[in-house]
């Protein structure tokens, strides 16, 4: 069993707390993608829920254990939506701090779900700083994605579902802050150790991958990628320690491959995905020989897109 902050018993118990709408997400072979990519491809579809991402699994746990009646988070968009929904169902006052440059559709949805939204003139790291300050000023819970183990253990329930459905040769996981990768990786290393856990990150936002490779925190001055959901610059030490135990490899992919993955999902799977969700296909495209003939799962982690940008990516 990998040595991380996560606990398999708590992860199994989390299934009794998380709203069933987020559990047992579709998992299926996609033969049209297989013909294009040259390997067996199964899709784990984490967008078939009210917030169109996996984040609700973690926010359900956070809100369940919340001592107070208010919470603040920084978000690139998906965590904010999930926390807003989980908070609304339990009467929790939620404030989300985000970059004003985040996709408009994500920001509008946060507001629609009843959260207070504060925008900053900068990237996610500036939003994180502001969220820390707000939580301190108000004396309320600061929800920090990936650092708060509930967000990792909520995501880890995906790993339980994959382990039960396997075996698979490899699972491709988008890597940003690390909650999804550490959660899924922890479970698979415990229950399905023969499955290779490969994290995928944009080359334009490589901080966590560089940290994994160096086995120490490596920060970057900028993050330049269309995959806004994974565009962090300052990895968290505790999360990196978990990732080192949970992942077998960490790869970087180009923007061109991410866009190609977005198009493949639309053309061959009928799925509208955000750039972060296309990272797995991007990894296959850039290293076809590695995956040839293998059964690979790619986790479609989000489907909240800015339509004008999306139309540009798919060429319509």
Per-residue pLDDT of the chain (316 residues; tens, 9 = 90+): 678 999 999 999 999 999 999 999 999 999 999 999 999 999 999 999 999 999 999 999 999 988 778 999 999 889 999 999 999 989 999 999 999 988 888 899 999 999 999 999 988 889 999 999 999 999 999 999 999 999 999 999 999 999 999 899 999 999 999 999 999 999 999 999 999 999 999 999 999 999 999 999 999 999 999 999 898 899 999 999 999 999 999 999 999 999 999 999 999 999 999 999 999 999 999 999 999 999 999 999 999 998 999 999 998 5
Handedness of CA 85, 234, 209, 247 (dihedral sign): negative
229 and 78 Cβ atoms separated by less than 8 Å = yes
Which candidate, 131, 153, 127, places its Cα nearest to that of 142? 131
Alpha carbons 132 and 138: distance in angstroms, whole number: 10
Per the DSSP assignment, residues forming a β-bridge with 198 are 172, 249
| Dihedral of the alpha carbons of 246, 202, 53, 303, in degrees to the nearest 10 | -150
What angle, rounded to 10 degrees, do the helices at 55-64 and 78-89 form? 40
- H-state helical runs in 192-231: 207-214
The CATH class that applies to domain 55-143 reads alpha beta
pLDDT of 316: 55
35 by Cβ neighbours in 10 Å (0-12 / 13-18 / 19+) ranks as: exposed
Planar angle of CA 73, 62, 273, nearest 5 degrees: 65
CA atoms of 231 and 228, how far apart (whole Å): 5
- Give the pTM: 0.94
- How much is the pLDDT for 176? 95
Question: 């600061």: which residue's tokens?
Answer: 142
The CATH number of domain 8-52+149-314 is 3.90.420.10? no
Q: How far apart are CA 55 and CA 25, in angstroms?
A: 13
Q: How far apart are CA 137 and CA 72, in angstroms?
A: 11
Rounded CA separation 72/66 (Å): 12
Quote the DSSP letter at residue 22: G
Q: Which residues contact 312 (CB under 8 A, 6 or more apart)?
A: none
Q: Nearest CA to 33 among 41, 22, 23, 24?
A: 41
CATH 3.40.50.1100, the chain: domain bounds = 8-52+149-314, 55-143
Can you give the pLDDT at residue 104?
A: 86
pLDDT tens track for 59-79 = 999 999 887 789 999 998 899
């Amino acid at each position: 069993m990998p040595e991380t902050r996560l606990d398999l018993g708590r992860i199994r118990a989390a299934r009794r707390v998380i709203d069933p709408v987020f559990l047992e997400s579709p998992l299926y072979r996609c033969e049209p993608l297989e013909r294009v990519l040259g390997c067996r491809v199964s899709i784990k579809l984490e967008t078939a829920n009210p917030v169109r991402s996996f984040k609700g699994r973690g926010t359900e746990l956070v809100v369940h254990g919340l001592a107070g009646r208010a919470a603040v988070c920084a978000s690139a968009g998906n965590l904010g939506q999930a926390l807003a929904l989980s908070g609304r169902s339990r009467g929790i006052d939620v404030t989300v701090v985000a970059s004003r440059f985040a996709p408009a559709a994500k920001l509008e949805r946060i507001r629609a779900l009843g959260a207070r939204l504060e925008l900053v003139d900068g990237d996610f790291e500036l939003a994180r700083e502001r969220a820390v300050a707000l939580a301190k000023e108000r004396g309320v819970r600061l929800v920090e994605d990936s650092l708060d183990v509930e967000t990792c253990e909520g995501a880890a329930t995906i790993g339980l579902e994959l382990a039960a459905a396997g075996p698979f040769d490899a699972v491709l996981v988008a890597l940003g802050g690390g909650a999804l990768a550490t959660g899924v990786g922890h479970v698979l290393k415990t229950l399905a150790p023969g499955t290779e856990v490969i994290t995928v990150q944009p080359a334009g936002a490589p901080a966590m991958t560089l940290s994994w490779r160096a086995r120490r925190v490596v920060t970057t001055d900028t993050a330049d990628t269309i995959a806004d959901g994974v565009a962090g610059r300052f990895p968290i030490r505790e999360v990196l320690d978990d990732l080192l135990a949970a992942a077998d490899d960490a790869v970087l992919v180009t923007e061109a491959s991410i866009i190609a993955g977005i198009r493949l999902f639309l053309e061959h799977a009928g799925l509208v995905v955000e750039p972060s969700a296309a990272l797995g296909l991007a990894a296959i495209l850039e290293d076809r020989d590695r995956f040839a003939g293998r059964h690979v799962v790619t986790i479609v982690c989000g489907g909240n897109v800015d339509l004008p940008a999306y139309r540009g990516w798919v060429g319509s």
